[in-house]
Structure 1
Amino acid sequence: MSNLHGISMDVERVDEMVFMEFKAIGTLTHADYEKITPMIEDALVDIEKPIVNVYVDGTEFQGWQLQAAWDDLKLGLKHGKKFNKVAFYGNSRWQEVMSKVGSWFVSGEVKYFDEPLDALSWLRG
């Protein structure tokens, strides 16, 4: 079993529209969130009313350490109102359940997909 973990992030920003793409690998840690949180803050700085669409590839995601789960919750509470659509692409039942729970902290829609192209076309639709 590998100890490989982390989050990669890509951001495209056009005026008020922000597209974020994340790939989560392994069991995420507090250190992973310490790296990613400032990147999210930077992507949203100076936008009064951002419209944020997010694509998450969770196919290699295994969960969080406890502190990282708290970090994820804090991030959702702080920025949740800015999220328009969140598409979670995964490959397991617990990820589907988790995406439903995540929708409680986001003002927009959160949907789970088992096909990446379906997720991307829904985000762009």
Structure 2
Amino acid sequence: MLQITDIKRENVVVTIASGKLNQHDLEKIHPLIHSILEKGLKIRWYLEMNDFQGWHIEGLWEDFTKDVDHEKEYEKIALVGEKKWQSWAVWFMSPFSNAHIKYFTLNQKKEAEKWIESD
């Protein structure tokens, strides 16, 4: 499940992922992304992973192919998680994005929030 929890600034999307995400979950965020882009802003995405188990493969592939079109519009991505494999997502995502991507542990949530909002 992907829960949109808050929008701190007009270009910061805050989400919490739990369980296994599917295509329906990922489609929830696309209207927010497009509304940010329509304002001419770069996207900053705070993604907190609580009991996150990954993606259904079809959802991952669909989201990946859609986001490649917008990869230049991401400015920062904060990944906040609890498992070692989640920190590897920074390594996996970096070649596909111009965004500054950074991993934080759940104990560093406040630091991640400050970082995603900072200029």
Match 2:112 to one of 94, 112, 119: 119
1:80-119 alignment, distance < 5 Å? 80-114=71-105, 115-119=108-112
**Partners of 1:38 and 1:74 in 2: CA distance:** 16
Q: Which of 32, 39, 46 lines up with 1:47 in the alignment?
A: 39
SS in structure 1 at match of 2:82: coil
- How large is the RMSD of aligned CA atoms in angstroms? 1.8
CA offsets 1:25-58 (integer angstroms, 9 cap, x no match): 10011222233323432x225223x122211101
**Conserved in 1, the CA contact under 8 Å of 2:37 and 2:43?**
no
- TM-score scaled by length of structure 2: 0.83
Q: Which runs of 5+ in 1 are unaligned?
A: 1-5
Q: Distance in 1 between matches of 2:22 and 2:66?
A: 14
Report the count of equivalent residues.
115
TM-score normalised by L of structure 1: 0.80
Give the direction of change, closer, same or farther, for the CA distance of 1:78–1:94 in structure 2 (3 Å limit): same
- Given that residues 100 and 111 in structure 1 are in contact (C-alpha distance below 8 angstroms), is that contact kept between their aligned partners in structure 2? no
Are the counterparts in 2 of residues 99 and 110 from structure 1 also a CA contact under 8 Å? yes
Identity rate, percent: 28
Counterpart check, 1:32 vs 2:28: no
> Quick one: which of 59, 65, 68 aligns to 1:77?
68
Q: Which consecutive segments of 4 or more residues in structure 1 shift more than 6 A?
A: none
Identify which range, 99-108 or 58-67, moves more after superposition.
99-108
The answer to whether the 8 Å contact 1:76/1:105 transfers is: no
Q: 1:89 is paired with a residue of what secondary structure?
A: strand
Which secondary structure state, in structure 2, belongs to the residue aligned with residue 57 of structure 1? strand
Instruction: From the CA coordinates, give the structure whose radius of gyration is larger.
Output: 1
- In structure 2, the residue matched to 1:3 is none
Which structure 2 segments of 5+ residues have no match?
A: none
